[in-house]
């Protein structure tokens, strides 16, 4: 086995040889390797955020006809490091009446809840943290911790605006979890397994082709779950000052910031793993490094779309946000689930025909729901009273 064939396994095997050579027991060596992997993976993910912030600011800048960061370093690449140093040396301010433990636990959970997801994602045919047989349920469970962090931040800061932000985030997360879980059932049905690597291996035809409705629902709901624009009602600065994180400063605020960017990237990673075929591609089985490259390319394509969303769509009002999930996405997910279940089983013997039929039916369902249900979902607003000025001009004779 050469280094370029599979670098991670190569280094791991080399290190295991070194440890065994020092006279360590095989279980001890395995434990050290697992602990090292568990320490390195989140570290790399968090360092990667520095690059993501630059990438996103640059792209948003181009969308808004600006340059984005371009002063510090080549193409402004060093700018996030400058921002990071600045945020490190800022003062921590804890408001009077803040609940100490929830207030300080929330920033940690907001990053930790996202990093948990990275443990089960297969980055190539061989590189993955754990091959959990319940990987998909694990990902949904990790999402619940994210909701908890918003809630703890909103409650712990002893601030009404933060609390309203917390309420909104929970209402949004719990509502969008319903269509998300139902949409994830469809790939599971076609695969017959909950393990993430099995789901990737089952995608000889990527699930975005066979299950376009599920892919669309998963994409929209996961953007909502990450609290990104247009679903960023949690931190609607025009209404709530800054929302749930209004009382945070310094690195505690920075953790929320890191958590948000990392979450946005993680949903792109998840979408490309579950619906775009993950590490699959020509030659990926024999050269795992190539599979990693495919996954990175796919993920950045999806992340690009997420940033385009953020740069171009206005924020939803809270009733529109609720209408979208309960009146469009949830019925679509349920109907699509039943139809897919009924069609997939009899055609399981002929994969090509099954794929074509599922694509046609799901695409029709998607279009029907987004054109018909989308229009009917938002009730027509009627004028209930005459417009009344708040202050009427009052003329007084000042000349006398």
Partner 1 sequence: MTGLQVVFLLIGAVTLASAVMVVAAKRVMHAALWLILALVGVAAAYATLEASFFAVMQVAVYVGAIAILIIFAAMLTRRSMEDDPARLNKGWPAALLAAGGLLAGLVYLFSRWTGFSSPARALPEGGENIAALGLALTAPEGFLVPFEVASLLLVAAMIGAIYVAGDLRK
Binding site for partner 1 (CB under 8 A): 99, 101-102, 132-134, 137-138, 140-141, 143-145, 147-148, 151-152, 155, 163, 166-167, 170, 174, 177, 193-195
* Shorter beta-carbon distance to partner 1: residue 163 or 269: 163
In the complex, minimum distance from the CB of residue 133 to partner 1, in angstroms, rounded to a whole number: 3
Cβ closest to partner 1, residue 29 vs residue 208: 29
Q: How far is the CB of 105 from partner 1 (least distance, A)?
A: 9
Cβ burial 52-75 (10 Å sphere, 16+ → b, else e) = bbbbbbbbbbeeeeeebbeeeeee
> What is the closest distance, in whole angstroms, from the C-beta atom of residue 232 to partner 1 in the complex?
20
Based on its alpha-carbon atoms, the radius of gyration of the chain, rounded to whole angstroms, reads 24
SS3 track for the chain = CCCCCCHHHHHHHHHHHHHHHCCCCHHHHHHHHHHHHHHHHHHHHHHHHHHHHHHHHHHHHHHCCCCCCCCCCHHHCCHHHHHHHHHHCCCCCCCCCCCHHHHHHHHHHHHHHHHHHHCCCCCCCCCCCCCCCCHHHHHHHHHHHHHHHHHHHHHHCCCHHHHHHHHHHHHHHHHHHHHHHHHHHHHHHHHCCCCHHHHHHCCCCCHHHHCHHHHHHHHHHHHHHCCCCCCHHHHCHHHHCCHHHCCCCHHHHHHHHHHHHHHHHHHHHHHHHHCCCCCCCCCCCCCHHHHHHHHHHHHHHHHHHHHHHHHHCCCCCHHHHHHHHHHHHHHHHHHHHHHHHHHHCCCCCCHHHHHHHHHHHHHHHHHHHHHHHHHHHCCCCCCCCCCCCCCCCCCCCCCC
In the complex with partner 1, which residue's Cβ is closer, 178 or 293? 178
- Nearest residue (CB) to partner 1, 123 versus 138: 138
Closest approach of partner 1 to the CB of residue 27, in Å: 10
CB of 345 to partner 1, least distance (A): 15
Based on CB atoms, which residue is closest to partner 1, 80 or 195? 195
Distance CA 262, CA 45 (A): 8
Nearest residue (CB) to partner 1, 221 versus 362: 221
**Between 53 and 194, whose beta carbon lies closer to partner 1?**
194
Minimum CB distance to partner 1 smaller for 171 or for 365: 171
- Min separation Cβ 178 and partner 1, Å: 10
Least Cβ distance, residue 385 to partner 1 (angstroms) = 20
Cβ 116 to partner 1, closest distance in Å? 10
Distance CA 182, CA 334 (A): 7
> To the nearest whole angstrom, how small is the minimum distance from the Cβ of residue 309 to partner 1?
25
Q: Of the two residues 55 and 150, which places its CB atom closer to partner 1 in the complex? A: 150
């Amino acid at each position: 086995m050469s280094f370029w064939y599979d670098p991670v396994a190569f280094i791991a095997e080399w290190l295991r040889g070194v440890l065994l050579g020092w006279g360590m027991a095989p279980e001890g060596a395995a434990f050290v390797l697992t602990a090292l992997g568990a320490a390195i993976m989140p570290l790399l993910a968090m360092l990667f955020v520095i690059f993501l912030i630059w990438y996103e600011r640059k792209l948003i800048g181009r969308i808004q006809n600006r340059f984005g960061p371009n002063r510090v370093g080549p193409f402004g690449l060093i700018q996030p490091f400058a921002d990071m140093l600045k945020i490190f040396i800022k003062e921590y301010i804890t408001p009077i009446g803040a609940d100490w433990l929830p207030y300080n636990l929330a920033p940690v959970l907001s990053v930790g809840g996202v990093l948990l997801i990275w443990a089960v994602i297969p980055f190539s045919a061989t590189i993955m943290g754990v091959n959990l047989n319940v990987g998909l349920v694990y990902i949904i469970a990790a999402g619940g911790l994210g909701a908890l962090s918003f809630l703890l931040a909103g409650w712990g800061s002893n601030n009404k605006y933060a609390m309203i932000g917390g309420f909104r985030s929970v209402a949004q997360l719990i509502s969008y979890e319903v269509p998300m879980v139902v949409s994830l059932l469809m790939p599971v049905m076609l695969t017959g397994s909950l393990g993430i690597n099995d789901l990737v291996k089952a995608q000889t035809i990527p699930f975005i082709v066979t299950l376009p409705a599920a892919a669309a629902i998963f994409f929209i709901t996961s953007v909502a779950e990450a609290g990104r624009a247009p679903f960023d009602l949690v931190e609607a600065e025009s209404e709530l000052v800054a929302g749930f994180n209004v009382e945070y400063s310094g690195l505690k605020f920075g953790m929320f910031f890191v958590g948000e960017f990392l979450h946005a990237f993680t949903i792109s990673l998840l979408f490309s793993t579950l619906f775009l075929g993950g590490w699959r591609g020509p030659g990926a089985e024999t050269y795992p490094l190539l599979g990693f490259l495919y996954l990175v390319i796919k993920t950045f394509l999806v992340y690009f779309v997420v940033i385009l969303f953020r740069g171009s769509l206005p924020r939803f009002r809270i009733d529109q946000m609720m209408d979208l999930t309960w009146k469009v996405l949830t019925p679509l997910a349920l109907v699509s689930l039943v139809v897919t279940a009924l069609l997939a089983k009899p055609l399981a013997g002929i994969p090509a025909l099954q794929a074509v039929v599922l694509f046609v039916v799901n695409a029709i369902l998607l279009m029907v729901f987004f054109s018909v249900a989308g229009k009917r979902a938002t009730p027509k607003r009627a004028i209930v009273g005459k417009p009344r000025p708040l202050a009427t001009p009052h003329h007084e004779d000042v000349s006398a």
